[in-house]
Amino acid sequence: MSSKMPAEKEGDILCFFINGKKVTESNADPETMLLSFLREKLRLTGTKYGCGGGGCGACTVMVSRHQPATKTITHYSANACLLPLCQLHGAAVTTVEGIGSTKTRVHPVQERIAKAHGSQCGFCTPGMVMSMYALLRNKPQPTMEDITQALAGNLCRCTGYRPIVDGCRTFCQEADCCQASGGGDCCLNGAEHEKPQLFDREEFLPLDPTQELIFPPELMLMAEAANPKTLTFRGERMSWVSPPSLEELVQLKTSNPKAPLVLGNTNIGPDIKFKGILHPLIISPTRVTELFQVTQTPEGVWVGAGCSLTEVRSLLEKLVPQFPEERTELFRALSRQLGDLGSQQIRNVASLGGNIMSAYPNSDLNPVLAAGNCKVSVICDGGRRELPLNQDFFVSFGKTILKPEEIVVSVFIPFSRKGEFVGAFRQAPRKESSFPTVTTGMRVFFSEGSRVVQDVSIYYGGMGPTTVSATKTCAAIATRPWDDETLSRAYDVLLDELVLPPSAPGGQVEFRRSLTLSLLFKFNLEVLQKLREMNVITDELPEKMQMRPLPREIQPSLQEFQHVSKDQSDQDPVGRPIMHRSALGHATGEAVYCDDIPATDGELFLALVTSSRAHASITGLDVSEALRLPGVVDVVTAEDIPGQKVRKISGYEEELLAETEVSCVGQMLCAVVADTRAHARRGAAAVKVGYEDLPDPVLTSEEAVEKSSFFEPRLTIERGNVTEAFETVDQVHEGELRIGGQEHFYMETQSMLVVPVGEETEFHAYVSTQWPTLTQDAIAETLRIPSNRVTCHVKRVGGAFGGKVTKTAILACVTAVAAWKTNRAVRCVLERGEDMLITGARHPVLGKYKVGFMNDGRIVAADLQYYANAGNTVDDSLLVTEKILLHIDNAYNIPNLRGHAAACRTNLPSNTAFRGFGVPQGLVVVENVVSDVAALLRRPADQIREINMYKGPSVTHYKFEFSPESMLRCWEECKAKSDYGARRAAVDQFNQQSRWKKRGMAIIPIKFGIAFSEGFMNQAAALVHIYQDGSVLVAHGGAEMGQGLHTKMQQVASRELRIPPSKIYISETSTSTVPNTSPSAASYGTDANGMAVKDACQTLYQRLEPIRQKHPKGSWESWAQAAFLEKISLSATGFYRGPDMYMDWDKKEGQPFAYFTFGVCCCEVELDCLTGDYRTVRTDIVMDIGRSVNPSVDIGQIEGAFMQGLGLYTMEELKFSPSGLLYTRGPSQYKIPAVCDVPLRFNVYLLPDSPNPHAIYSSKGIGEPALFLGSSVFFAIKDAVAAARSESGLVGPFPLDSPATPERACLACASPFTQKIPASKPGSFKPWA
């Protein structure tokens, strides 16, 4: 600490309001964020922890402040995980609990998101609600654009966003016809109104702005009072000072030049959290009025450096209409760039000065400000000076020319002149809420009425350690006429000027270099357009060359399902679109998740220590320093485990905690338990591990094949004779396709709480898991106690998707050992980064294929080889390879078919089950084969698909008989619903008329086997109690993780007992009520548990028969009472013995599935060939799911799975360093689909009249099948890329790996700009580490 600090006095008292109640905190710690304060101190657990870095929006709250200068109150949404508590002095915070509850009155936003089925697991819902609420407080009648912008920073992994947007759309004014009500067919189309709707907007509460909480008058007085007092808050390791005046701020910064200024905490916050940087002193200049002033001059406008990006943007938008267009070029360019920077929550708090001074290499604003000749005014105790923002301003990574003690006070943004044009572009991995790959600001000035360039300025971000100026390129353009000759010379100069070495940090070198050219070309197109508008040039730019932005308006969509039959009783809920039974609890924040359970006295928190080497011996584990830290209670190592130290799967063993050797980065070594989360994490960071590297870690499937590193057995299956068939075909083609892995990104990270009862070694485990029985057995074996001493409770899971089965059990074992050792309750909740590092993902797969086909399009033979990267332990990998092989036919009857699959043993974290279980990886290779055949024959791919489909009574390659009739109906229906023929022709027409944007279309079928291929897993049990008041309690073996299982079970019980669902309650899934359960997985949860609940309810209904005969007019309640008095048991267990599925791998035949779920998806995309960006313009899905038990839940599953598939095949990229460390450990590096990725028209149709005799009430399992349909977006992109390649004279099949990120799509388009970039040879350089 510097000696000039104010004398060590007591800290000040922090005063602010939460939900209308005053909160005073006398010892506020600057390290405490609002999120942990809300959750741990105030027990307001509606605000969720999703990522801790402002990237997911789960912790969104609304902050309100009184502005004395304007006497107004501002409301804005913000991420509670980045809001320092100390920043909130004088603010009013509103959380989801403060706007409405089921006890008092539900707020319209909460009601509409719930009733529109916008919540599945419900973990992201409070954040969605608060983003929307903050928007409505500022704009009670928003536009669709407002809504999509407000939700851009909120991620959801379950729903596919469509129902959330539909629920919010009901607040819009513009579309007040029935189109906005969740049904697309409206009176305008003259459609008959008989179609059933998913929800009825007539019953919604109206929005009444007068009902909101008022801003606390006390805070107004506080804000108005002149209080020039410096506020100081001292914490355990950090102090926080908030000066009231500029003068005092300058003094503070002079005496503490290293102390950062924090306004939005969107930079310093993540640094402290993720990089462990410690700042002993933080200066918060929020009360220095000079930093927030805006002054207009004849030359431009000075904007206070403290203004938030949202304020800057609305200022620019206000100024633009006040001046002639030629004067606001820079304003408009900046405003455009600001629209895509970060998310609404980030822009609301991040400051302009902070954004400039953080000097990120890929800054969005700096290139535009620099190109636009902006300058900053800085101050220090030596006085003020003005500095231009130019290439000299940015010195090195994160460093500027300013001295440490200087402070940026304001930023000058000049007016533009006549004949001056400014362009701003960015390319990012996701269209919104994403750090950019490359950004640019460009400005050109022409002499009056001429195309001769007087002055030009071009800056790029993302092309080096700082914002760079393309000075030589500018010199090549200046003084010359703006025409093709000048520009083609400029591209060559630019190529030489901005060189990135192949090992440059961040990778993607060829893509980034090609972007510099194509963004300059985009600017060129804009300039030509402007010159034409000014009549400087008259030659028409051919229509074909023009570039309009990609479409972005979300259209109303259709969800079609079948009415229940006319004779079904009104109180029978089966087949009706009933809201998720906890939806209102999700929307009000009342729903309790694992980490929301209140802490018990003496509870400890567990943090893990993980390996930092991919393959090494452990030479030492020194925990002495950790044990000395404040709050640390103990360290748990493998030696502390009283029972089994390993888990056995598929004949292999997996260690709970590594003892002698590590086989991946992120392997668990030991765990630290402490009194708080922060202390446990610091303790874990202080554990010293000694390693000795072992030779040659294996990281990729290719390396594993080379070194023969596999988990055995490797499986093969064959039908017909493939080798002979290759001799007789017309053409043979070989290829390969790599499919990247996929992180589960469930919104609720792995969470558990293990509580020792205190006697007879009994434990209660509250775990967020899909398989409570596995967790129970695992803990019992680890602690060497009988299973009857361990009860595992699952109330609900905040998303799982396959990722909360095996690893969750291992984490629970480690937590249980800590609870056993300390005899105290122990909680373990992983941080997002740890979760992504430790728990594994979907298996990346390398697929190789050889296909033989006839010239008429018949595929006669195919040989497919799959290498799945299993990681360091076997986990479910062998079952995944098995399921891949059982699906290599998809919808096609290929007479000679051979498949080979291997699980590669590598030194990456072990991959695990993920929705689809190998099928999405296996099938995309099959479909790629079909599209390659189509490309070679120069025929439309849909024709080749049709020719080869199963028709009539069919047999799969493992001799399983089935009828493909429903699948063919889905195919025909999808072609009809999507108007395939006409739109295909329109796409070709579009592509002929557009050079730089292409459209593509694809239609893809799926045949997905439902049930566990291990026969014994197809069983389920239930326990149903009727109480004397007639209320019913149902327990079954399935876990509710957002898939609506409890809702469907409630519907089943309601139908069987003939009582309304309101009388039926499901509390939790617990191993003490229903033992020996199977996991909720394989799309089988409803099939199995539904039958068990039905069985129990039927037993009870029959027991009541004599009572009903006696009192036929009695009520249900009176029957329950009478039965009790007659000593009739009102409790029953139900059991379902599922079908005996099996697969005999020696005979290569079996019945591994109970039935197939079929579906077909047609997608159209529009692709920007210059940047690789795309939009899904329209998606039509037709699914055969038998008779849906609950159409709203099932359509939600289809949409959510489709969006996860869209992420898998086009966006989500896991990146590892050359030493096996996962780089993408959070939402800022790993992009899952957001609202901006939803298909603009997203139609789902459930195939009518297709009952399924094999499952409850003729329904079908639907959790997984639709995920693969996301590949239709991949193939549509591939189709658009093919159209772009044909412009460069390239035809025929070409490689495009999954995911088809903007980088891959752009490079595959092979535009003239991409072709200029020299490719770097693999092996000639070391990739960036």
- Known catalytic residues are 1264
Instruction: Kindly report the number of other CB atoms within 10 A of residue 214's CB atom.
Output: 10
Q: Torsions phi, psi of 958, nearest 5?
A: -110, 25
Cis peptide leading into 1299, omega within 30 of 0? Answer: yes
H-helix or E-strand spanning residue 850: strand 845-853
Beta bridge partners of 1183: 1159, 1246
SS (H, E, C) 955-974: ECCCCCEECCHHHHHHHHHH
Give the pairing type, strands 239-242 and 281-283.
parallel
Omega within 30 of 0 (cis) for the link into 361: no
CA quadruple 646, 647, 653, 654: dihedral sign? negative
Which residues, listed in sequence order, are joined to residue 652 by a DSSP beta bridge?
A: 649
CA 868 remoteness from chain centre: 24
The angle at the Cα of 611, spanning 608 to 612, to the nearest 5 degrees, equals 125
Report the chain's C-alpha Rg in angstroms. Answer: 31
Strand order in the sheet with 763-767: 632-636, 668-674, 604-610, 826-829, 751-756, 763-767, 790-794, 1069-1070
Cα–Cα distance measured from residue 250 to residue 243, given in angstroms and rounded to the nearest whole number: 9
Q: Identify the H or E element spanning 396.
A: strand 394-396
- The Cα 1250–Cα 559 span in angstroms is 17
Instruction: Let me know if 892 is exposed, middle or buried by CB neighbors in 10 A (0-12, 13-18, 19+).
Output: buried
**Which DSSP string corresponds to 898-951?**
EEEEEEEE-SSPPP---TTTTHHHHHHHHHHHHHHHHHHHT--HHHHHHHHB--
Question: Is the separation of the CB atoms in 863 and 850 below 8 Å?
Answer: yes
Q: How many CB atoms within 10 Å of residue 1113? A: 6
Task: Please give the backbone phi and psi of residue 620, each rounded to the nearest 5 degrees, phi first.
Answer: -175, 150
447 DSSP 8-state letter: -
CA–CA dist 1049, 1036 (Å, integer): 8
Which structure tokens are listed for 362?
């890929």
d(CA 373, CA 414): 7
Helix (H, G, I), strand (E, B) or coil at 345: helix
CA 412 to chain centre: 37
Q: Are 940 and 934 in contact (CB under 8 A)?
A: yes
- Looking at residue 38, what DSSP letter applies? I
How many CA atoms lie less than 13 Å away from 768 in the CB half-sphere? 29
Contacts of 335 (CB under 8 A, 6+ apart): 313, 316, 317, 320
Burial of 329-350, coded b for 16+ CB within 10 Å and e otherwise, reads bbbbbbbbbbebbbbbbbbbbb
815 closest CA partner among 885, 859, 768, 868: 768
What is the distance of C-alpha 203 from the center of its chain?
A: 32
Helix (H/G/I), strand (E/B), else coil: 693: strand
Q: Residue 37 has what DSSP assignment? A: I
Is residue 60 within 8 Å of residue 124, measured between CB atoms? no
Count CB atoms within 10 A of the CB of residue 365.
Answer: 25
